[in-house]
């Protein structure tokens, strides 16, 4: 039955494929020239439409993106430069602060040494004053003791003289006499 249909089909269509293949070589390859031309026109129109509506916007978008990337890189360079400058400024400020701190420490040491020296001088002056007062106090006490000894010596001398003479002498007159003798002895020694 297929064999019968295969022989009748070309008659139904009106032309046989072998007859058409002989007239057009593209048809022998299975390519219809009208379809090929329509597809070429469609492809060309598609390329033109893609160029106008897709390629140009894509290129524009890529250019904008490239510009943004370039701007971002420039901004990053600026930020890097600013960071470097800020770091240099900070380093300079830290060096300055370190120098000022060292100067303050040196000044504090000088002030401390000055205060220590002043305290030593003041302590020495106070010590000298104490020594001078002590010497004066010792001299006064010595003078008081010598005076007391004189009085006791005068009294003893009067008592001794009374016992030797066995009569009572004028005490005031004898004290004056003894004091005069002691003063003469003191001047002779000094």
In Å, how far are 32, 140, 154, 158, 174 from 146, measured between CA atoms? Answer: 160, 10, 12, 18, 18
- Whether residue 175 lies inside any domain: the answer is yes
- Whether residue 141 lies inside any domain: the answer is yes
- Whether residue 97 lies inside any domain: the answer is yes
pLDDT of residue 16: 53
User: By mean pLDDT, which of 5-9, 38-42, 49-53, 152-156 is the weakest?
Assistant: 5-9
Q: Is 83 exposed, middle or buried (0-12, 13-18, 19+ CB in 10 A)?
A: exposed
Domain count, the chain: 1
- Whether residue 133 lies inside any domain: the answer is yes
pLDDT of residue 30: 84
pTM of the predicted model as reported, rounded to 2 decimal places: 0.37
- Whether residue 9 lies inside any domain: the answer is no
**Sign of the Cα pseudo-torsion (90, 95, 99, 105, in order):** positive
| DSSP state letters, 3-18 | HHHHHHHHHHHSS-HH
- Whether residue 8 lies inside any domain: the answer is no
Instruction: Give, as one character, the DSSP assignment of residue 12.
Output: H
In Å, how far are 21, 102, 118, 125 from 115, measured between CA atoms? Answer: 125, 20, 5, 15
- Whether residue 6 lies inside any domain: the answer is no
Encoded tokens for 31: 């390519």
Containing structural domain, residue 148: 15-189
- Whether residue 5 lies inside any domain: the answer is no
For the stretch 10-64, pLDDT in tens is 444 455 555 554 567 777 888 888 899 999 999 999 999 988 888 888 888 999 9
């Amino acid at each position: 039955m297929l064999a019968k249909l295969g022989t009748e089909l070309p008659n139904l269509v009106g032309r046989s494929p072998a007859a058409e293949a002989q007239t057009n070589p593209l048809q022998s390859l299975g390519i219809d020239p009208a379809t090929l031309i329509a597809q070429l026109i469609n492809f060309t129109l598609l390329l033109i439409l893609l160029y106008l509506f897709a390629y140009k916007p894509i290129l524009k978008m890529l250019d904008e993106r490239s510009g943004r990337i370039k701007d971002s890189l420039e901004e990053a360079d600026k930020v890097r430069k600013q960071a470097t400058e800020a770091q240099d400024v900070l380093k300079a400020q830290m060096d300055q602060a370190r120098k000022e701190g060292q100067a303050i420490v040196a000044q504090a040491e000088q002030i401390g040494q000055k205060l220590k020296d002043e305290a030593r001088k003041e302590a020495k002056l106070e010590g000298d004053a104490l020594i001078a007062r002590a010497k004066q106090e010792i001299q006064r006490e010595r003078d008081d003791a010598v005076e007391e000894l004189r009085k006791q010596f005068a009294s003893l001398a009067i008592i001794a003289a009374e016992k030797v003479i066995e009569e009572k002498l004028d005490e005031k007159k004898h004290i004056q006499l003894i004091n005069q003798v002691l003063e003469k002895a003191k001047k002779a020694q000094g």
